[in-house]
Amino acid sequence: MQRHRPLWLLLTVLLAITLASCTTAKPPEDTEEPLVRQRVEAPPTQVQPTPEEAEEIIADRAMATLEIIKNRDFAALAEVAHPSGVRFSPYGHVNTGEGGDLVFSPEQIAVFGTDETRYTWGSYDGTGFPIELTPREYFDEFVYTADFVNAETVSYNEIAHSGNTLENQFEVYPNAIIVEYHFSGFDPQYEGLDWQSLRLAFEEHQGTWYLVGVIHNQWTI
């Protein structure tokens, strides 16, 4: 019996190797595939209206909203706010990531006038310091910063002027009409570097166009 022991040992080792090869874990599936499939199966975005069509649809609604913003009538602003909320962007790039631009519900917007909470709205261009302001302070510094009711240029679904930041408004709001109120500058000595814009993004909900985004834009470093 001692002479056959090496043969049995060899057979045992071969059997173990065979079983191990059969139970080896399969390589992980491509994690990108579900994401790609999700994009393909997602409902297509609406066809963007031309600037002329957009103006016809939204001009009056947008100007009425701008008047509300100018007058700081927050109760009225809540009425035109989208039920899902309004995102406030201090600069031209709309930050939807973690710690990005703040979104407020209509109920929160309605009490902006008395809300003394100092929210962090983002970071100041150049310094990177946090923008910590009450809603009223934010409106003074990052919303109605010029007489936009009498803007030099008004554009619909077009960019009137862009700075150094990445423009992504149409990617963030693919089904919106975006109205831009723009001034090319105020003081000749700055040669146009003091330009300012206010953009209002509207999306249709149950047959009515509601405000979904307020984007302030200016020259940035």
Task: List the end-to-end C-alpha distance of the chain, in Å, as a whole number.
Answer: 87
The model carries a pTM of 0.78
> CA-to-CA distance for 142 and 132, rounded, in angstroms?
12
pLDDT the model gives residue 15: 47
Question: In terms of residues, how long is the chain?
Answer: 221
Sequence-distant (6+) residues with CB within 8 A of 48 are 54, 157, 170, 174
The highest-level CATH class for domain 51-218 is alpha beta
- What pLDDT tens digit does each residue of the chain (221 aa) get? 444 444 444 444 444 444 444 433 333 344 333 222 222 333 356 788 999 999 999 999 999 999 999 999 999 999 999 999 999 999 999 999 988 999 999 999 999 999 999 999 999 999 999 999 999 999 999 999 999 999 999 999 999 877 777 889 999 999 999 999 999 999 999 998 999 999 999 999 999 999 999 999 998 87
Structure tokens at 178: 């975006």
* Identity of residue 201: A
Q: Which residues contact 195 (CB under 8 A, 6 or more apart)?
A: 161, 182, 183, 184, 185, 218, 219
pLDDT tens, position by position, 102-160: 999 999 999 999 999 999 999 999 999 999 999 999 999 999 999 999 999 999 999 98
One-letter amino acid for residue 61 of the chain? R
DSSP at 46: P
- Cα gap 17→195, rounded to integer Å: 73
Report yes or no: 138 and 122 within 8 Å, Cβ to Cβ.
no
Nearest to 203 by CA among 174, 176, 178: 176
* Domain limits, the chain: 51-218
CB neighbourhood size of 41 (10 A): 7
Backbone phi, psi, residue 177, to 5°: -105, 125
CB burial of 180-212 (b: ≥16 within 10 Å; e: otherwise) equals bbbbebeeeeeeeebbbbbbbbbbeeeeebbbb
Alpha-carbon distance of 87 to 95, in angstroms, equals 9
| Per-residue pLDDT, 45 | 63
Cβ pair 202, 77 in contact under 8 A: no
Q: For the chain, state the CA radius of gyration.
A: 28
